[in-house]
Structure 1
Amino acid sequence: MSELDEYHQNLMADIRREADASGVIMVEAFFDRMTERLTGAGELEVADRAYFQNGEGGQRLRIDGYAGDPRDSEGVLGLIVCDFVDSEEVQAFEKKDVPTILNPLIRFLKKARTEEFRDSLNEANPAFQVSDLIITTWPHVTKVRLILVSNRRYNSRDDAVKLQELDDVPVTWSVWDLARFARFEVKGNEDLEIDLVQDFGGPVPALKGSQTGAALESYLMIIPGPQLAAVYDRWGEKLLEGNVRSFLQARAKTNKGIQKTIKDEPDLFFPYNNGLSATADAVTCVRNDDGLAISSISNLQIVNGAQTTGSIHAALKSAKEQLPQVFVQMKLTVVPPDRSEDIVPKISEYANTQNKVNAADFFSNHPFHIRIEQFSRNIIFTAREGERHDSKWYYERSRGQFINARPKIKGKDQASFDFEFPKTQLFSKTDLAKFEFSAAGQPHLVSRGAQKNFAEFAKDIGDAWSKSDAKYDELWYKRLISKAIVFRWIETEVPKQPWYEGGYRANIVTYAMAKVFHDANGEKQVLDLDTIWRRQSVPDALQRALLLAAAEAHDVITHPPTGIRNMSEWAKQQACWNGIKGRTLSYDEDFETCLTLAESARTTKRDEKAKKAMTDGINAQSEVVMLGADFWKQALTWGRDRKRLTPKDQQILDVCASMPRRLPSDLQSRHALEALNRMRDQGFGEE
C-alpha cells in the first residue's frame, strides 16, 4: 500500500467515525477536517461552513464555505467548494474536470453580488449570509480566492491560477487535493518553490554574508517593490512563518505609516525601512553582469517584516505608480530542514523586536509545549467504564508528529500504540487553545478561528509563563484533559439535537461550554474537573446542563440584533457572548453534583504541589548519590578555587563529598544540583 493510499484510508476512516458519532453528513465532517488544515497552512485565516446548492447542469450553484470577513484579511474574499467522493480507493481528476467543480462556485459568486438573489432567500439560509457579506464588503475586496478542496488526487500542479476579473477585482483559483493535504500533514508545511526568473521578472542581486563552509549560508538582497508584491500576491500569508503570522493576527494590520511613505516618498522607502528577515530551505544562485544573484528560493519564510510585506502588497492597488520606486532589503538565511526547529525560532525572536512577545513568541519548541508534550506521553488515564485499556492523550506540539510516529512502530507494537494513544485522543496546539478559552469564557475569540484564537491564547500563556511556570503542572494538564473531554462531547452531541438545523456547530459548542463553566464557577463552588478526568467521561447531569446551554447558544447566535445579518460574524463579537452570559438558565437540581467546593479544588492543587515537591526531592537525592562523592569533591574544589560558591553552597557540597558517611537531605540535594548548574554555566566540566 502506498503512503497516499494509507493516508486516504485513514482520512476516510476518520471522516466516517466523525459522521457516525455526531450525525453530520460526511461532506460536512470532511469540510471541518480539511479547512482546519487550510488555516494551519496559512491558506486561510478562518473557514466558516455555509453550504448551499441549487439548480442543475449549467445553472447549478454551489458553495461549501467562506473565509470570514474580507475586511479582516486585507480585502481577500475566500470562497470554498468541496469535491468529496465516498470511495475505498483513491480517485483522481484532471485539469479538464476542474470547471465542472468550480463553475457552480463562480456562478454563485456572480449571483451573490446581487441584492435580487440575496433578497430571494430566507435570512437564516447560509447563502443569504454569504451574499449579504459579499454585497456589504465588495468595495473593500481586493482579490477573490476560490479554493477547491478534494479527497481525490489532482493530476496537475496548478495553484493561485488567475481566472478572470470582476469589476477590476482579480479572481484566482487553487486546488487542495488528497496528495497536497498528505504532504502537508507529514511535513508540517507546504513546499513553496519561488522561481524568480520564470515567474517574477528575474533574479535578485545578492551579497553573500557568510564564508565558505559556514554553518549557515546568509545573503543580503535588495528586492524591487513590484517583485516582492507579486511574490506575496501569489503565495500570500504562506510566506509568513506560521508563528509570526499567528501573532500578527492579534495585532494591527498593515502599517499606515509604511503605506504613506510608499505613496508620498517612495524613493525614501529604502532608507526609512528596516527591511525583512527571512529563512529558506535552499536557494539557487547565478552570476550575471552585476555579480551574484538569486534565481530561485525554496520554502521562503518571512520571520520579520510581515507589516512591510503586507504594505508593499497593498500598494499594488493603492500606489501602483509609485511602487517601482520602492526597494526593500532582505536578510536571507538558508536553514536546512533538519535544523529549522532550533534555528528559525531564534532568528525570529531576535529579529522581532517591534512585535516582541514573551517567551520567544511561543514556538512549538517553547518550554510550555514541551512540558505538555511530556505530560501527554507519560500520564495514563484510567479506562472509561466498559473499556478494557487505560490510555493517554497525545499532544501534537508540531504538525505531523502523530502521523509520523505510528509508522515507525512495527508489528504488534503498532496495535499497542493504537491502544495507548487512540486517535480520538489526539489534540494540537490550536485544539488546546479552544479547550482553554472555551472554559475561560472567551467563546467569541474561539469563534474567530483556530489561528486567531491561538494567537490570543499564546499571548496570555506567554505572559503568565514569563512570571511563573509553576501553575502548569500535572494537575493543570489533567484538568485540561477534562476540558477536552467536555468540548469533544458537546461537539459530537450538538448535531443530534432536534433544534439543530445545520451550521454554526463550532460556535454553538464553544458558547455552550463557556456558558456552563461561567455559571458553575463562583467564589464558593467550581465545576468538578477532577472527577471528569478520573472517569474520562462527562457525568449525566453535566451532559444535560451542556445541552441546555447549547440550545440557548443556538438561539442567541441565530437571532442577532437588528442590523446584523451574518450569524457567523455575530458569533465573533463580544456582544454575542454578553448576550448569552447574561441569560439565566434553569439547570436540573442534580447539576449541583457536578460542582465541588472551591476550597476543595485549591486543596487538591496544594496536595499536588506537595507531592511534586516530594518527588522532585527524591529524584534530586538519587541524582546526587549517582554522581558520587568523588565527583562532588571535584566540584567543591573547582568552585572554591574560583570563588564561585557561597558559604551555604560550600557547606552542602561538603556533605555531598563526604558520602556515604553523611547523606544530603532532599532539600540539600536540590540546592547542590542548582549550584552545580550554575558552575556548569561558568565552565565547570569543560576543561
Structure 2
Amino acid sequence: MSELDEFHRELIADIQGEADVGGTYTTEAFFEKMGDILTEAGELDGADYAYFEGTGRRGTAIQIHGYGGDPREAQGILSLILCDFSASEEVRVFRADDLKSRFNRLVGFLRHARDDEFREQLEETSPGFMLADLIATTWSSISKIKLIVVTNAEKRAKADGLPAGSIGEKPVTYTVWDLARIEKYVRSGQTREDLLIDFEKDFGGAIPVLRASMGDAALESYIAVIRGSQLGEIYEKWGTRLLEANVRSFLQARGKVNRGIRDTLEDQPEMFFAYNNGITATADSVQIRQTESGPVVVSADNLQIVNGGQTTASIHASRRQRPKRPKARLDEVYVQMKLNVVPPETAEEVIPNISLYANSQNKVNDADLASNHPFQMRLQEFSRRILAPKGESAYQETKWFYERARGQYPDERGRRTESERKKFDLEYPRSQYFTKTDLAKFENSWAGLPHLVSQGAQKNFVAFQREVAKEWKKSDAQFDETWFKRMIAKAIIFRRLEKVVPQQPWYEGGYRANIVTYSMAKLAYDMDCRERLVDLDRIWRQQSVPEPVEAALLLAAAEAHHVITNPPEGVRNMSEWAKKQACWAQLQHRELDYPFDLRDYLLTSAEATAAVDEERKNKAVTSGIEAQSTVVSLGAGFWKGALEWGKDRRLVTPKEAGILETCTRIPDRLPSEKQCLIAIEVLEKLEADGFDASVAAAGE
C-alpha cells in the first residue's frame, strides 16, 4: 500500500468518525476539517459552511458548500468552496473534465446569486439564501473571486491559482486541493507544490540580482530590485499564500507606517526606493541566468515574503484607485528585495529567525513567531510529560498531544513501527490531539470572546497569541502545570459540546461551531457574574464533563442557538452575525435558570486560588525531593569531576563551587533540597558547555 493510499484510509476514517460523533454528514465534517487546513495554509481567512445544491436556468447544476467570509473583511476577495468527498476504498482520479464540472457548479451559483428572481425563490433562513444575499449586497466591494475545489480524489490536471476569465468584470481564479496536496500539507506542512514564481514567463521579465554570498556561506543570498507593478501582479495571483512564513497578516492602511507607504506610492513613486526598507524573501530554490548585463532571477520555487508583507500588500492595494486620489504609478516604483535560498530541511529553524531579525518597519514581538515562542515550547513539554488521569471510562493514563508545529503528530506516529504505533495511539489517543488554533478556541471561548472565535481560526489565534505575549511578559509563572490542566478541562468541555449539540431537539443544522463557543462563553460569564468559577480541576481529574455541568452548557447552547439564528432586523447572514460583538452582548444579557446541582461543581475565587497554591507547593516539594534524590544517586566522585571540570574552565561562580563542594562529601554530608536544585542547574549549564555527564558517571 502506498503512503497516499494509507493516508486516504486514515482521512476517511477520521472524517467518518467526526461525522458519527457530531451527528453531521460526512461532507460537512470534511468541509470543517478542510476549512481549518485552508485557513492555516493561508488560502483563506476563515471558512463558513453554507451548503446549497439545485438546478439553475436551462437546467444547469448549481452547488456550493461554503465561503471564505465577508469579502469586505478579506481585502475584497470573495472565496467560494466546493467539496467533493467520497468514502471510496480506492483513491479516485480527478481529470480535467471532472474539475471543469465542479468549477462550473460554483460559477453557476455565483451567477445566480446576483439574480433577484433566484434569491426570491430561496427560503430566507437557508444558508444558500444568506450566502447569495451576501454576494449580491457586497458585489461592489468585491475585487477578486477565488473558486476553490477540495477533494479526496487525486487530480491529474494542473489547476492552482490559474486565471479563469472574469464574471461581472471581476477577475476569477480557481484552485484545487486534492488528496495528494492535503496529504503533503498534513504530513509535512508543505502546501506549495505548484507555487513556482516564473518572473520571466508570467510577470513581465526576469529580475536583475547581485550575489550577496560567498561560496562557503551558510545560505545562498542575493540582492534584487523588483518593479512595484511586478510585485503587485504576483500578489494578485497568490495573495496571502506569499506571506505564510510572514509573522503577521496585512494590517491595511491603518497604522502610520502603512499610510506612509500608500501615500508615497500615490504621490512620490519615484522616491519609494529611497524611503522604503524593501522586502526580505526566501525560496526553496531559484533559477539564475547570466546575461550581458549581469545575473537575473528567472524563477523562484516556493517564494515567501518573510518581511515586507505590509509593503507588498500596500502595493497590491494601490492598484485600485481611491476616490479623489491619483492612481499609483507602479511602473515607476522599485522595491529592494533581499532573497535567501533556504533548503526545505532547514526552513523551520531558519525562516523564523530571518523574519525576527529582518523586521523593522512594523515592530515584531517574539509572540508573533508563534511556534517558537517560549510559551509554545513549554506547552509542548507539558503535553509530552503530564499524564492525564484515567477518568471514569479509560483503563490507563494517557496524554494530550499538543502540536506546536504543523505535522508533528503524523510525523511522530508515522516514523514508528506498527507495534510502536499501537503503543503511541494508546498513549496519545487521536481524540486527545490538538493544535495551536484549537488551543485558541478553547481559551478564548472560556474567556468570553465567542464572536472572535467565530471570526475564524487564524484571526482568533493571532488575538490569543497577542494576549498570551502580554501576560507572559508580566509573569510566565502563571502558565504552569495547573494552567495546562485547566486548559485541557476546557478542551474536554469544547469537544463534548461538539458531539452533543447536534443531538439536541432544537438543533436545526448549521452553526454548530458558533453555538459551541457561545455556550462555553455564556456559562463562564454567568458564573463570573455570580462570583463563582466552574471547577475545572475536577473536570481534569474526571477527564469528562459532569452531568450537571453538561446540562448547564446545553441550556446556554439552546439560548445561543436562538440568539444566533434570530439576528436583528436587517441582518440576514447568521454566520456573519455570530462574528459581531453585538451578538455576544445580546446573549450576555439573557437570564438563564441553571440546574440546582450545578452548584456542586462551582468554586469561589479564593478556593480556586488555594488549589493553585497547593498544587505549586506540592510541585516545589516534589521537585526538591527529586533533585536531592538525583544528586545523591550520582555520587561524590561524579560531583568532584564536575566541580574540577567547571573550575578549570571558569564556568562556576564561588557560590556554585561551594554547593558542588558539598555534593563531593556525600554521604558524609547531604546537601539540602535547595542546594540540590541549584546543583542540578549548574550541571545543566556545564553540560551545555560540553561536560559529558555520562562519562563522568561511568568513571564514578
TM range (shorter): over 0.9
1:621 is displaced (CA, Å) by 4.0
Query: Counterpart of 2:348?
Result: 341
Query: Counterpart of 2:455?
Result: 448
Amino acid at match of 1:584: E
How far apart in 2 are the matches of 1:633 and 1:321?
69
Residues 367, 466 of structure 2: 8 Å contact kept? no
How far apart in 1 are the matches of 2:586 and 2:27?
32
Query: Counterpart of 2:410?
Result: 403
Amino acid at match of 1:231: I
Q: Establish whether residue 632 from structure 1 lines up as the match of residue 643 from structure 2.
A: yes
How far apart in 2 are the matches of 1:675 and 1:412?
39
Identity %: 49
Residues 249, 452 of structure 1: 8 Å contact kept? no
How far apart in 2 are the matches of 1:267 and 1:10?
55
How far apart in 2 are the matches of 1:344 and 1:621?
41
Query: Counterpart of 2:154?
Result: 153
Residues 51, 65 of structure 1: 8 Å contact kept? yes
Distance 1:444 1:225, change over 3 A: same
How far apart in 1 are the matches of 2:596 and 2:623?
43
Residues 504, 568 of structure 1: 8 Å contact kept? yes
Distance 1:524 1:569, change over 3 A: closer
Residues 370, 465 of structure 2: 8 Å contact kept? no
How far apart in 1 are the matches of 2:13 and 2:680?
50
2:215 to 212, 222, 239: 212
How far apart in 1 are the matches of 2:88 and 2:691?
62
Query: Counterpart of 2:695?
Result: none
2:500 to 488, 493, 500: 493
Deviations 1:422-447 (A, max 9, x none): 11111000000100100111111100
Query: Counterpart of 2:431?
Result: 424
1:282 is displaced (CA, Å) by 1.8
How far apart in 2 are the matches of 1:13 and 1:633?
59
Query: Counterpart of 1:285?
Result: 288
User: What does residue range 24-39 of structure 1 map to in structure 2 within 5 Å?
Assistant: 24-39=24-39
How far apart in 2 are the matches of 1:581 and 1:249?
31
How far apart in 1 are the matches of 2:250 and 2:576?
21
Distance 1:645 1:407, change over 3 A: closer
Q: Establish whether residue 241 from structure 1 lines up as the match of residue 252 from structure 2.
A: no
1:138 is displaced (CA, Å) by 1.5
Query: Counterpart of 1:93?
Result: 94
Bigger Cα displacement from structure 2, 196-205 vs 569-578: 196-205
1:130 is displaced (CA, Å) by 1.4
Distance 1:650 1:13, change over 3 A: closer
Residues 375, 477 of structure 1: 8 Å contact kept? yes
Q: Aligned with 2:119: secondary structure?
A: helix
How far apart in 2 are the matches of 1:126 and 1:333?
46
Distance 1:253 1:505, change over 3 A: farther
How far apart in 1 are the matches of 2:45 and 2:583?
21
Amino acid at match of 2:132: S
1:98 is displaced (CA, Å) by 1.9
User: What does residue range 526-675 of structure 1 map to in structure 2 within 5 Å?
Assistant: 526-621=533-628, 626=634, 627-636=638-647, 639=650, 645=653, 648-649=655-656, 651-656=658-663, 658-672=665-679
- Structure 1 gaps of 5+ residues are none
Amino acid at match of 1:197: E
Amino acid at match of 1:449: G
Deviations 1:606-628 (A, max 9, x none): 12212222233344445655451
User: What does residue range 373-522 of structure 1 map to in structure 2 within 5 Å?
Assistant: 373-521=380-528
How far apart in 1 are the matches of 2:471 and 2:665?
41
How far apart in 2 are the matches of 1:535 and 1:249?
46
Bigger Cα displacement from structure 2, 615-624 vs 371-380: 615-624
How far apart in 1 are the matches of 2:34 and 2:296?
39
1:492 is displaced (CA, Å) by 1.1
Query: Counterpart of 1:173?
Result: 174
Amino acid at match of 1:11: L
Amino acid at match of 2:78: L
Deviations 1:388-411 (A, max 9, x none): 333221111111111122222113
Q: Establish whether residue 102 from structure 1 lines up as the match of residue 88 from structure 2.
A: no
Query: Counterpart of 2:81?
Result: 80
How far apart in 1 are the matches of 2:455 and 2:449?
10
Residues 362, 458 of structure 1: 8 Å contact kept? no
Distance 1:684 1:164, change over 3 A: closer
Q: Aligned with 1:655: secondary structure?
A: helix
1:636 is displaced (CA, Å) by 4.8
Bigger Cα displacement from structure 2, 474-483 vs 375-384: 375-384
Q: Aligned with 2:478: secondary structure?
A: coil
Distance 1:468 1:508, change over 3 A: same
How far apart in 2 are the matches of 1:340 and 1:125?
45
Amino acid at match of 2:203: F
Query: Counterpart of 1:184?
Result: 185
1:320 is displaced (CA, Å) by 6.6
1:503 is displaced (CA, Å) by 1.5
Q: Aligned with 2:387: secondary structure?
A: coil
Distance 1:249 1:326, change over 3 A: closer
Query: Counterpart of 2:372?
Result: 365
Residues 47, 67 of structure 1: 8 Å contact kept? yes
Distance 1:555 1:243, change over 3 A: farther
Residues 359, 466 of structure 1: 8 Å contact kept? no
1:212 is displaced (CA, Å) by 0.7
Q: Aligned with 1:521: secondary structure?
A: helix
Distance 1:418 1:649, change over 3 A: closer
Deviations 1:524-564 (A, max 9, x none): 53101111111111111111111111110011111112232
How far apart in 1 are the matches of 2:338 and 2:118?
50
Q: Aligned with 2:526: secondary structure?
A: helix
TM-score (norm 2): 0.92
1:324 is displaced (CA, Å) by 0.8
1:223 is displaced (CA, Å) by 0.7
How far apart in 2 are the matches of 1:323 and 1:358?
31
Bigger Cα displacement from structure 2, 427-436 vs 117-126: 117-126
1:649 is displaced (CA, Å) by 4.7
1:355 is displaced (CA, Å) by 3.5
1:127 is displaced (CA, Å) by 1.9
TM-score (norm 1): 0.94
Amino acid at match of 1:177: D
Q: Establish whether residue 303 from structure 1 lines up as the match of residue 310 from structure 2.
A: no
How far apart in 2 are the matches of 1:665 and 1:336?
50
User: What does residue range 226-265 of structure 1 map to in structure 2 within 5 Å?
Assistant: 226-242=229-245, 244-245=247-248, 255-265=258-268
1:634 is displaced (CA, Å) by 4.6
How far apart in 1 are the matches of 2:579 and 2:145?
22
Deviations 1:281-308 (A, max 9, x none): 2222111122121122122211111111
Q: Aligned with 1:470: secondary structure?
A: helix
Residues 204, 295 of structure 1: 8 Å contact kept? yes
Query: Counterpart of 2:68?
Result: 67
Q: Aligned with 1:628: secondary structure?
A: helix
Bigger Cα displacement from structure 2, 173-182 vs 562-571: 562-571
Query: Counterpart of 1:18?
Result: 18
Distance 1:637 1:30, change over 3 A: closer
How far apart in 2 are the matches of 1:4 and 1:253?
48
Deviations 1:462-495 (A, max 9, x none): 1212232211222211111111110011111111
Bigger Cα displacement from structure 2, 498-507 vs 548-557: 498-507
Q: Aligned with 1:223: secondary structure?
A: strand
Note the aligned Cα RMSD (angstroms): 2.5
Residue correspondences, number: 681
How far apart in 2 are the matches of 1:684 and 1:14?
46
Amino acid at match of 2:30: F
Query: Counterpart of 2:145?
Result: 144
